Amino acid sequence: MSTVAKRGGRSGHAGILAACLVYVGLLLVLPLIGIVWTALKPGFHIVTDTLSAPDVQHALLLTVQIAVITVAVTTFFGVIVAWVLVRQRFHGRSFLNALVDLPFALSPVTVGLACFVLFAPGGWLAPFFDARGIRINFALPSMVLVTIFICIPFTIREVVPVLEEIGVDEEDASRTLGASVWHTFRKVSLPNIRWAIAYGVALSTARSIGEIGAVLIVSGLIQGRTETATLYIFRATEERQTPQAYVVALLLAAISIVLLLAIEMFHHRQERAMSSG
Amino acid sequence: MTMSGAAQSIEGRGGFLGIPHRTAAALRHLALRGTAVVYLSLLVALPVAAVLTKGFGDGLDSFESAMARPGAWAAIRLTLWTSTIAAGINAVMGTMLAWVLVRYRFPARRLLSTIVDLPLAIPTLVTGLMILALYGPNSPIGRFFDDLGIRIVFTPIAIVIALCTVSLPLVVRSVQPVLQELDPAEEEAAATLGAGPRTTFRRIVFPAIRSAVVAGTLLTFSRSLGEIGSVILVSGNRTGKTLTAPVFIFQLTSQFRASEAAAVATLLFAISFVLVLVTTRILRTSGART
């Protein structure tokens, strides 16, 4: 502890620390305990009963599908966008940069509404997809689209600073020695940004599993068809099937805590790699 | 474009499919740039343009008819004041938490740091359910407050708690890196010269972290304006009383009043967008100073 802390009087510091612990305790720790207690109150059989129900299994499967597609798309294109933003200079670059941050400023509800409007009758993209009989709204494609929209910034915002930091010297050296662009990317650039990518993947996974506002609008809430895990919790709570809602919520909370621990680990790895390299 | 001279001399020799290396490299750059532009235009710019056009394509008609609906203004007012209170609370508590995490050494500091990040990962709807479980009428705490005559769930109190919870990491993570950079020697010097902890904070620490606090607070406010997942279960959604603007937009959309929903969404977005612009401006000037 620094001398400031010693001189400042222990009581004042203990007060600040206590206030912080009480605040975090009331907002997060107690509610987490509350959810575990409420979910398991009826006995452990409620967990197996809930998780073996067909609509719960379908909802979990749908959530996994959406998360996998979202993470694959946002990671692949995210690395390309980050690369272009850092390594290329062109007109409209700052506009592109601003577009990346736009999803942070939008309410998930607005995102859902935007997708709905695009593909609803009279929407700009409706004629194309209607003519081909492809259903977007109230079906999987719209739910994937809105989740991708919301997850776009994560990978890009993690990879950009790392690419800026490592510079182009190693890449240039590799190219000078005759390595192809692809080989250079795989052997030189990728190892440098891998922890940033992992961080982005974990964050996007957590976010897509937890997404509710946007899918609430575009899914149409069709039970057993477009119901994700979060939408199941929403419906079960509204229909007063509280124990089932709490069991699925507990499962999602557990998954997100595991993802958070992974995120923290990736962050430390990234910082260590940066400071050693 | 950043390609060193040595690399370019290799580019000069004839290459793939008869295309000289230099041209191939230029094409590759263009292809990557094109992919990035198309990806972001289709997935971000187009939907946003669609909402703006839907909401204000016919001038202010949709906006006026949306606002004529019962509870519309009340919903926007409710969202604005609950977000303001949540942002204010987290500005103070977030700064204190960042301070504690950077300057104090105590057992479970790492644990506290991880817990502060929880809202980044936990589904917002689950956060809402947690509040319902803890403060709802069926829980001991809920009953305790009920006996005091204070209702928490299905009132604006629950909305503020939900907003504070989901946005907790924003101020902390904005202030923390700045505090880490700050040299404790300055604070120690102030203390040596006889300044109390309060004076030291006001004169030495706060000026350094001010822009980070403001940026984090604006982010919190902007995030709160659009929050629905944690709010929808705990607010009760009573028209004119506990119906927030995002839930109002959701209701309009489910009644297939998309253009009215789009008008309200555009208003929220405009407020939020201006705030994010201000935030990035502040972050940039503070970054330039250090």
Which whole number is the average pLDDT over B12-17?
Answer: 48
Q: Is B115's CB within 8 Å of A118's CB?
A: no
Which whole number is the average pLDDT over B83-109?
Answer: 94
Question: Quick one: pLDDT band at residue B138, thresholds 50, 70, 90?
Answer: confident
Listed by start position, the domains of chain A span 1-41, 43-276
Q: Which residues of B fall within a CB distance of 8 Å from A245?
A: 129
Residue with tokens 């008609």: B61
Which whole number is the average pLDDT over B120-137?
Answer: 92
pTM, to two decimals: 0.90
pLDDT less than 50: residues of chain A? 1-8
Q: Say which amino acid occupies A142.
A: S
Residue of B106, B129, B280 with shortest CB distance to A35: B129
Question: Quick one: pLDDT band at residue B11, thresholds 50, 70, 90?
Answer: very low
Q: Is B118's CB within 8 Å of A210's CB?
A: no
Mean pLDDT for chain B overall? 87
User: If DSSP states are collapsed to H, E and C, what string results for chain B?
Assistant: CCCCHHHHHHHHCCCHHHCCHHHHHHHHHHHHHHHHHHHHHHHHHHHHHHHHHHHHCCCCHHHHHHHCCCCHHHHHHHHHHHHHHHHHHHHHHHHHHHHHHHHCCCCCHHHHHHHHHHHHHCCHHHHHHHHHHHHCCCCHHHHHHHHCCCCCCCCHHHHHHHHHHHCHHHHHHHHHHHHHHCCHHHHHHHHHCCCCHHHHHHHHHHHHHHHHHHHHHHHHHHHHHHCCHHHHCCCCCCCCCCCCHHHHHHHHHHCCCHHHHHHHHHHHHHHHHHHHHHHHHHHHHHHHHC
Q: Is B133's CB within 8 Å of A246's CB?
A: yes
Name the nearest CA neighbour of B244 among B173, B180, B160: B160
Residue B130 · residue B164 · CB < 8 Å? no
pLDDT at B204 (0 to 100):
86
From the CA of A268, how many Å to the nearest CA of chain B?
Answer: 12
Question: Quick one: pLDDT band at residue B260, thresholds 50, 70, 90?
Answer: very high
Residue B115 · residue A32 · CB < 8 Å? no
Q: Is A102's CB within 8 Å of B51's CB?
A: no
pLDDT score of B10 more than 70: no
pLDDT at B277 (0 to 100):
77
Residue B167 · residue A27 · CB < 8 Å? no
Q: CA-CA distances (angstroms) from residue B274 to A42, A126, B219, B271?
A: 48, 31, 11, 5
pLDDT at B107 (0 to 100):
87
Q: B35-67, pLDDT tens digit by residue?
A: 999 999 999 999 999 999 999 888 888 899 999
Q: Which CATH number fits domain B61-289: 3.30.565.10, 2.102.10.10, 3.30.420.10, 1.10.3720.10?
A: 1.10.3720.10
From the CA of A101, how many Å to the nearest CA of chain B?
Answer: 9
Mutate to test the interface with A, among B13, B42, B43 (most CBs of A within 10 A): B43
Q: A159-217, pLDDT tens digit by residue?
A: 999 999 888 888 888 888 988 888 888 888 899 999 999 999 999 999 999 999 999 99
Which whole number is the average pLDDT over B257-281?
Answer: 86
Q: Is A259's CB within 8 Å of B262's CB?
A: no
Within an 8 Å CB–CB cutoff, is residue B17 touching chain A? Answer: no
Q: Is B47's CB within 8 Å of A32's CB?
A: no
From the CA of A160, how many Å to the nearest CA of chain B?
Answer: 14
Largest CA distance in chain A: 75
Predicted ipTM of the assembly: 0.91
Q: Is B36's CB within 8 Å of A9's CB?
A: no
Q: Is B168's CB within 8 Å of A245's CB?
A: no
Both tokens of B95, joined, read 């700064």
* CATH no. for A43-276: 1.10.3720.10
pLDDT at B51 (0 to 100):
94
pLDDT at A273 (0 to 100):
81
From the CA of B170, how many Å to the nearest CA of chain A?
Answer: 12
Nearest-Å Rg of the Cα atoms of chain B is 25
pLDDT at B20 (0 to 100):
62
Q: Which residues of B fall within a CB distance of 8 Å from A216?
A: 228, 250
Residue of A106, A114, A246 with shortest CB distance to B50: A114
pLDDT at A277 (0 to 100):
53
Q: Is A260's CB within 8 Å of B118's CB?
A: yes
Q: Is A83's CB within 8 Å of B32's CB?
A: yes
